[in-house]
Structure 1
Amino acid sequence: MKFQKYVQENKTFPVFVLVGTILLMAGLFIDFYSMHMLIFISIFLIILYGLGVFYERHIDDYLTFTFTEVPNRHYKGDEGYIEVEIEQKGILPLLNAEVVIEMDDVIEFKGGKTIARRYMTTFSKNFNLMFWEKRKIKIPYETKKRGVAKVQNIELVVPNIFGFSKVFMKARKRFNKEVIVYPNKTVVPNIDLMSPKNMGFHRATHSLFDEHTLPVGTRDYEQGDAFNKIHWKASAKEGALQTKVFEKASQISWCFLLNVRSEQGLSVAENVETLLEQIAYMTEYATKNQIPYRIFVNISALDQIPFIHQLEGEGHFHYRKTLELLARMKFLTFNTPYERVLHFVWKHESNPAYVIQVGSVTDRQMQYLKLIERKGSKLAFLNGGSLTTGPSEGKVKQSG
């Protein structure tokens, strides 16, 4: 493993080496007995200095630092730990060394020395590691807020056992270790307004699909009609081929549209964390009731669609991906104009049963929602309080 090293030298030890060199030179001009003592002392100091330099240059040649695999997915207020493994495969020991780990302040380390910094939390602990030895260090923590805590910096501080200096070694490798903190779930009143009476499918005005259990009549046969849709009894009665006509139906699904901007449209909404907690609750509800859902957020992303989104799906795996998506949202990045998100959904997305507008909307944005509603979806509005249906009940701010 590669480290970026620098040495904090002590000015005392080079003085000893200089004195030893002088003594070595002086020993050549004094009596035999004293010369032996001076030569021994000077050679000892020079060898000690050489070993110190060798230690500084090669202490990390066979030193490895890894994170063990432990579950690190939590909710706010949970406790957990990360475990690091330090192994010295060489012959140089580490005595009274110190490991310093810096992570995002989504978590707070417990035990050791914790230093509170802006957006960071730091843990340090002393340890000893002999040659050909492996040591595991367990670092407990408590989750403080939604987000992802990544390892930002790892540093080892090793005293030089052959001198008075310290070796500071900063890891060059970027570790993938992270602690994911999901948003808590805040109950959404009136969520039963969107509960389907019949699970799976509902009647729709516009749909590409037919519900074969809901026949509504027959019509004259047209070229291209499927053979299995011919109503043979009606055809015999009418004397001409008749095709079955079924009720139009589409699958129950939800579409979450999250606007993270405030009512003024210049900054992030103050209640954005509450909105995420309510989405976490509603998506859990959808998962339990086998309702597919998708999510669109006006935060920039580097993929096909230039904003954060989750394609439609259902089930526990889909819900877990939702929680991770919500946990990874960062509001310090650039936001996409919300009208751009609404225009994309209107033009390119199939119409779900319900579109849930989360957050505030302007008059202009409401016009896009009306266009989406005309495609056959029902609107629901959520802005930190209870869920309401119908555009007239939503919280709309005046544009301009």
Structure 2
Amino acid sequence: MQWKKVIIEDRFLSILAFLGVLLVIASFYFNSWLIFGAGLLIILITAANSYYLNHIGEGLVFENKRERNRFFIGDNGEWSLHFANHGLPIMKARLTVYFDSAVIPVSGEFHIHQSKVDVGMPVSMSRKEQIVIKIPFKADRRGMSKIRRLELHIPHFFGFGDTILEFKDVINREALVFPRPISVRNIDKHKSFRPGTSTSLFSVFEDNMGPVGTRDYLPTDSFNRINWKASARRMTLQTKEFERITEAGAVLFVNVVDGFSVTVMLEFLMSSITEMAYFFHKANIPFSLCMNIRSAGATPFTYIPLGSGKDHLQKLLDILAIADHHSPTIPYDKMLFFYKRHFPVAPTMIHTGIRTEGADIYFKDFGRDGIQLLELQRHVAVEEEAFLGPLQLMMKEVAMK
């Protein structure tokens, strides 16, 4: 059975049933068919009331299919709830839906308590009827909204009690609201000093596997780079041009901890990382995410390996939407230690959040390997803006350790 049932009977119903029995007994004493009929009618009403309260909802089915929808802040969506009734008719009931306040209903009667929303609506269903209840909403803030509970209050026809049905299973309806990106200056300043496979206009390395064109010969060009066929056609020396390549990739290290709790800058961090992820996606630069929110599995923290493409971006945005102030965390330096031991490094590493002294030990080691180290900082003058700058290590503390 999908539903947990709570039956609330009016005390007057028991008194009424007792009165009906007394009238039936009295009818034999007074030899009155009228009193007998009144008593029998009262008994039938109380019996029908009890039967209805005890059996209502036994044929009610909720289609609990898995559904996850994604929204940007300001987008409109809706919860679609499918019900089928194979039992007694349900009349003048009231359905209450409880969900997280990342999305807010745009119509109807609803209440917001802390981070939860409850919205109620009337429901009536005849036998063998199927209905779809739609609750339109608007994405209000970053986060994940799940339908946490369904309650159906069914009154009796005569008002002698109520039946409350509460859905027992986990409801598989989720709405993810992605963070709103904010401006991040100097995001295009990351660079690499090592060869790779990604194209770059400013790299000193070239892909010698095949030329992409020719240009006029210069005295400083090497003699073996002359394209003799092109030179013969143009009757002037032509030099082969190769595509410039470099090693590309960035790892985003995110420290969401401040002391013993999640930082109050969580929204700022999620919005900044969203902007950087969009930039890397458009520039086709592989990126990775390491966030010290605890995760089940072999990797004890939230980790996305280096990758690119639309699916990779969506996976990162999903994680940024789910992160909240109640997420379990691990120490930042332990995350860096695990990363250094188990994962390949990228040419650029970007630190976001509060930087601890223990973390500087690992960043110093990364710097020795020629990795570019950057740090996300909040703009002092403009609240909704951030910028990337060189990561300045606390050399004295690091040396002492």
TM bucket by the smaller chain?
Answer: 0.7 to 0.9
Give the whole-Å Cα distance in 2 for the aligned partners of 1:84 and 1:94: 16
2:29 aligned partner, one-letter code: F
Count of matched residue pairs: 356
2:316 aligned partner, one-letter code: T
CA RMSD of aligned residues (A): 3.0
Give the whole-Å Cα distance in 2 for the aligned partners of 1:188 and 1:211: 32
Question: In structure 2, what is the equivalent of residue 50 of structure 1?
Answer: 47
The question of 1:317 aligning with 2:311 is answered yes
Question: Deviation of residue 389 (structure 1)?
Answer: 4.1
Equivalent position to 1:124, from 116, 120, 129: 120
2:339 aligned partner, one-letter code: V
Give the whole-Å Cα distance in 2 for the aligned partners of 1:26 and 1:359: 83
Question: Deviation of residue 398 (structure 1)?
Answer: 7.5
The question of 1:291 aligning with 2:285 is answered yes
Question: In structure 1, what is the equivalent of residue 222 of structure 2?
Answer: none
SS where residue 378 of structure 2 aligns? coil
Alignment of 1:20-59 (within 5 A): 20-31=20-31, 35-59=32-56
Question: Deviation of residue 194 (structure 1)?
Answer: 2.0
Q: In the alignment, is the contact (CA less than 8 A) between 1:362 and 1:397 conserved in 2? A: no
Give the whole-Å Cα distance in 1 for the aligned partners of 2:397 and 2:368: 22
Equivalent position to 2:326, from 326, 332, 347: 332
Equivalent position to 2:82, from 81, 85, 101: 85
Question: Deviation of residue 163 (structure 1)?
Answer: 5.2
Question: In structure 2, what is the equivalent of residue 382 of structure 1?
Answer: 376
Q: Percent identity?
A: 24
Q: In the alignment, is the contact (CA less than 8 A) between 1:106 and 1:143 conserved in 2? A: yes
Q: In the alignment, is the contact (CA less than 8 A) between 2:93 and 2:124 conserved in 1? A: yes
Question: In structure 1, what is the equivalent of residue 220 of structure 2?
Answer: none
Q: In the alignment, is the contact (CA less than 8 A) between 2:16 and 2:46 conserved in 1? A: no
- Name segments (4+ residues, structure 1) moved above 6 Å: 68-71, 195-199, 394-400
Question: In structure 1, what is the equivalent of residue 167 of structure 2?
Answer: 171
Give the whole-Å Cα distance in 1 for the aligned partners of 2:376 and 2:396: 14
The question of 1:256 aligning with 2:252 is answered yes
Question: In structure 2, what is the equivalent of residue 363 of structure 1?
Answer: 357
Give the whole-Å Cα distance in 1 for the aligned partners of 2:362 and 2:191: 25
Change (3 A) 1:387 1:347: farther
Change (3 A) 1:396 1:388: farther
Give the whole-Å Cα distance in 1 for the aligned partners of 2:183 and 2:396: 25
SS where residue 314 of structure 2 aligns? helix
2:320 aligned partner, one-letter code: L
Question: In structure 2, what is the equivalent of residue 348 of structure 1?
Answer: 342
Give the whole-Å Cα distance in 2 for the aligned partners of 1:136 and 1:196: 56
The structure that is strand-richer by fraction is 2
Question: Deviation of residue 293 (structure 1)?
Answer: 0.9
Question: In structure 2, what is the equivalent of residue 232 of structure 1?
Answer: none
Give the whole-Å Cα distance in 1 for the aligned partners of 2:396 and 2:66: 48
Alignment of 1:95-106 (within 5 A): 95-106=91-102
Q: Deviations over 1:89-148 (max 9, x none)?
A: 12x111110001111122222333212212211011112111111121111122222111
SS where residue 383 of structure 1 aligns? strand
The question of 1:65 aligning with 2:26 is answered no
Equivalent position to 1:139, from 126, 135, 151: 135
Question: Deviation of residue 274 (structure 1)?
Answer: 1.0
Structure 2 portions without partners, runs of 5+: 201-205, 211-244, 380-385
Give the whole-Å Cα distance in 2 for the aligned partners of 1:372 and 1:28: 100
SS where residue 261 of structure 2 aligns? coil
Change (3 A) 1:275 1:138: same
| Structure 2 length-normalised TM | 0.81
Question: In structure 2, what is the equivalent of residue 275 of structure 1?
Answer: 269
Q: In the alignment, is the contact (CA less than 8 A) between 2:192 and 2:347 conserved in 1? A: no
Give the whole-Å Cα distance in 2 for the aligned partners of 1:67 and 1:305: 31
Q: In the alignment, is the contact (CA less than 8 A) between 2:99 and 2:147 conserved in 1? A: yes
2:19 aligned partner, one-letter code: V
Change (3 A) 1:190 1:253: same
Question: Deviation of residue 368 (structure 1)?
Answer: 0.9
Q: Which of 354-363 and 168-177 deviates more?
A: 354-363
Change (3 A) 1:69 1:171: closer
SS where residue 361 of structure 1 aligns? coil
Alignment of 1:188-207 (within 5 A): 188-194=184-190, 200-201=197-198
Give the whole-Å Cα distance in 1 for the aligned partners of 2:122 and 2:397: 59
2:12 aligned partner, one-letter code: T
The question of 1:153 aligning with 2:156 is answered no
2:38 aligned partner, one-letter code: I
SS where residue 303 of structure 1 aligns? coil
SS where residue 294 of structure 2 aligns? coil
1:141 aligned partner, one-letter code: F
Question: Deviation of residue 381 (structure 1)?
Answer: 0.8
2:4 aligned partner, one-letter code: Q
Question: Deviation of residue 71 (structure 1)?
Answer: 6.8
Q: In the alignment, is the contact (CA less than 8 A) between 2:184 and 2:388 conserved in 1? A: no
Alignment of 1:167-246 (within 5 A): 167-194=163-190, 200-201=197-198, 213=209
2:105 aligned partner, one-letter code: F
Q: In the alignment, is the contact (CA less than 8 A) between 1:275 and 1:384 conserved in 2? A: no
Change (3 A) 1:315 1:395: farther
Question: In structure 2, what is the equivalent of residue 241 of structure 1?
Answer: none
